[in-house]
Amino acid sequence: MNNEVLLNNPAWSALTTEQSFFARGNEVFKRYQPGILSFAACADPGNSDPARLDEWLEAGESFYMIGELPAIPGNWKVEFTLPCFQMVLTTLNRNARSGDAPIRILGEADGEEMYELINSLQPGYYLKDTRQLGTYMGIHDNGKLVAMAGERMRMSGFTELSAICTHPSYTGKGYAQQLIIALCEQHKAAGITSFLHVSAANERAVSLYEYMGFRKRTSINFTKLKRI
């Protein structure tokens, strides 16, 4: 069984294991490369020297931290906090698949369309090069990308599902379920546990993920901060 303790501080766990290539920082504070992901993390949020947190951030830069926050330096400000559930896959409900549209692995040529789709629906989290973090899958209609899902934070034994979205004109067709099942089956074959984060206020999505076999592991905040 994979060690769920890693999920308590997921960005730090990812930046110090499977995604260390994308890490910038020091022994107490790390962040993803600019343009990849606006996430940062502390090794021990409850015992971090604020002076060590600043050197890897640009003035005016906004970024996110997940879970417990460190002592906030005087030149940081909290922009907003999004309460979320962290959900972990237990047993995948393959009966949740309700569509059979062709699925394609997305690549560099799809980058602009991926960025436009996700940011038209869930702005602010997915950057131009976020797709480099893992595998992204999509469904097209007449050459147009209409649904996608992919991998964001990856750590030893766990991979996060993210950028799960469907163009409003194509909802109700089961595309999200198809894509989630395809990614989760890939993870299971590799001995990886799938997990995700969802806004606690999005009851419809929470219910869908529970139906698909995910359980609520914990409540966790995504906090957007800015270095001023």
**What pTM, to 2 d.p., does this model score?**
0.96
CATH topology of domain 85-219: Aminopeptidase (3.40.630)
Give the list of residues 6+ apart from residue 18 with CB closer than 8 angstroms, or none. 154, 155, 156
Residue ranges per structural domain of the chain: 4-82, 85-219
- pLDDT grade for 99, boundaries at 50, 70 and 90: confident
Q: Can you give the pLDDT at residue 2? A: 76
Q: How far apart are CA 82 and CA 72, in angstroms?
A: 17
Give the single-character DSSP code of 74: T
* pLDDT above 90: residue 136: yes
Q: What is the pLDDT of residues 12-71, one digit of tens each?
A: 999 999 999 999 999 999 999 999 999 999 999 988 887 788 889 999 999 999 999 999
Looking at the DSSP bridge assignments, the partners of residue 165 are 148
At 212, the amino acid letter reads: M
Residue-wise DSSP of 157-177: TEEEEEEEEE-GGGTTSSHHH
